[in-house]
A and B are shown apart, each in its own frame.
Chain A
Amino acid sequence: MAALDPGKLDARERNALETLLKRLADDEFVLAERYTEWQVRAPTLESDLALANNAQDELGHARLWYDVLEDLGFEEQALIYERDPADFRHATLVERPFEEGDWADAVLRSYLYDAAEKLRLEALEDSAYPKIADRVGKIRSEEEYHLEHAQNWVERLADGDEGHERLQDALDRLFPYALTLFEPVDPDVEDDIVELGLRDATLEELGEEWLSIVVPSLESLDLEPPVSAQVDDDTFEITEDMLPEERGRDGGHTDAWFDLHDELTHTYRDLGRSETTKIMDKPE
C-alpha cells in the first residue's frame, strides 16, 4: 500500500487518521491516569515502582500519538485540557475506577489491556502513515515489559484462594468493558482505517484474536469470563449482548470518566492556563 503523504491528505484520510490516533492516544493517556492512583499505595515498593514505570511509559506513548495528531493541526492543550470529555475516544476499560485497594483489579486490567495493545501495535507496524510505523517499534519494546509484568502477577495471584477470588471478581467487572477496546468510533471510518492501510487488521479480527488468546489463558488459571465469547473450539466472537452500555469509542462514557477528567484538568483551569507546560521539545 502506498504511503500517505502528510502534506497531501484528503478529508477521508484525515478523518481516518484522526480517529485512529485518538483511539490510540486516549487509551494510553487515560490508563496512565488511572495507574498513577496506585502511586505510594501499591502492595510493595517494587510493585509500586513497576506500575509507576508502566504509567510513565503509557504517558510517553500517549504523547507520541498526540504529537502525530499535531500533523493534522491539533494542539496539545486542545487535545487534552480543552477537549470536551465526551469527545475522548478511549475504551471504557481504562476509565473505570479501581475497586479501592484491589491490586487484582489493577493487575487484571493491565493484562486485558496489554494483550490487546500487543495485537494492535503488530497491526500498525506497516502502517501507510510513516510516522505511525516509525513509532510502533519503540512503543512495542516497552509494552512487552507491561504484558510480562501483568501476566506474572495474574499467575501468582491466581495461585492463592483470596487472590483467585479477587481476580474472578475483577474479571466479572472488567471483561465487558475490555470488549469495548474493539468497538468502532464510527463503522465507516473504521473501514477506511483498514482500506487506507493505516492499520492492517479490522477491529473484528483484532477482537477475535484477543479473545482466542485471553480466554484460554484465563481459563487455564480457572478464571471464567462472565460471558462466553466462544463459538466453537477455536472460534471466538464479540456480540452485541456482551457489551456494556458505555463503549467509550462512540463518546459514551461512564460517570467515572467525567469525574476523572474534571480532576485532571482542574489545575489547568484553576491557573487560567491556555497552553501546556513542555519539558521536552518534540517527543521521541
Chain B
Amino acid sequence: MIWEVFRQEKAGNYHTHCGNVHAPDREMATQFAAIQHGRRKPTNSLWVVPKEEIGEIDTEDVAFGGTTDKSYRWATAYNTSGKDAREVVESEDEQATAERQRGDD
C-alpha cells in the first residue's frame, strides 16, 4: 500500500507533498515516513495519506478557471486610489503574483 507523505517544516506552515512510502498500515507508514522524509530536512510534522484516498481532478477533466475572460474576478482589474487599506494593497499584490503564475497575463 502506498502512502503519500506531506511535510511541515515549522509549526503553522502548510504540509507540502514530499514523496511517499510503502507500508501495510498507518502506524508503519508514519514510522517509515519519519525515517525517509523527516530525517534530513527540518521537520515539525508529517502527514501520511493513503494514495487511494486522494481524489484528483485534472486539466483533462475540467478547464480550470473557465474558458471565457473572467478578469473581473481579479482585484487587479479595478482602479485603486493608492490610498487604500493595507489589506487591499497586499491582496492586489498576491493576486498579481497568482496571475503571473497562472500564465494569464
Chain A residues at the B interface, C-beta cutoff of 8 Å = 44-47, 49-50, 53, 145, 148-149, 152, 156
- B residues in contact with A47, CB < 8 Å: 32
In the complex, number of A-B residue pairs with CB atoms less than 8 Å apart? 27
Nearest CB on A from B49, distance (A)? 16
**Listed stretches B33-41, B64-72, B73-81; interface member:** B33-41
Please pick, from A46, A53, A145, A149, the residue contacting B21 in the complex, using a CB distance under 8 A. A46
Give chain A residues whose Cβ lies under 8 Å from the Cβ of B21.
46
Known pairs A44-B22, A45-B22; A50 contacts B35 (CB<8 A): yes
User: Given the complex of chains A and B, what is the CA–CA distance between A148 and B23 in angstroms?
Assistant: 15
Is A149 a contact of B39 with CB atoms below 8 Å? no
Task: Answer whether residue B31 sits at the interface, using C-beta atoms and an 8 A cutoff.
Answer: yes
Docked CA distance A196–B62 (Å): 74
Which among B22, B24, B31 is the interface contact of A149 at CB below 8 angstroms?
A: B31
Q: Which of B31, B34, B35, B39 has the most CB of A within 10 A?
A: B35
Which A residues are CB-close (under 8 A) to B32? Answer: 46-47, 49-50
- Chain B 28-70 near chain A by CB (<8 Å), digits 1 or 0: 1001101110010000000000000000000000000000000
Chain B residues within 8 Å of A, Cβ to Cβ: 21-24, 27-28, 31-32, 34-36, 39
**Which residue in B28, B35, B39 is a CB contact (below 8 Å) of A152?**
B28
Q: How far is the CA of A45 from the CA of B20 in the complex (A)?
A: 12
A-B contact list, 12 entries, CB within 8 Å? A45-B22, A46-B36, A47-B32, A50-B32, A50-B35, A53-B35, A53-B39, A145-B31, A149-B31, A152-B27, A152-B28, A152-B31
In the complex formed, the residue of A with least CB distance to B32 is A46
**Of B22, B27, B39, which one neighbours A46 at CB under 8 angstroms?**
B22
A65 to chain B, nearest CB (A): 23
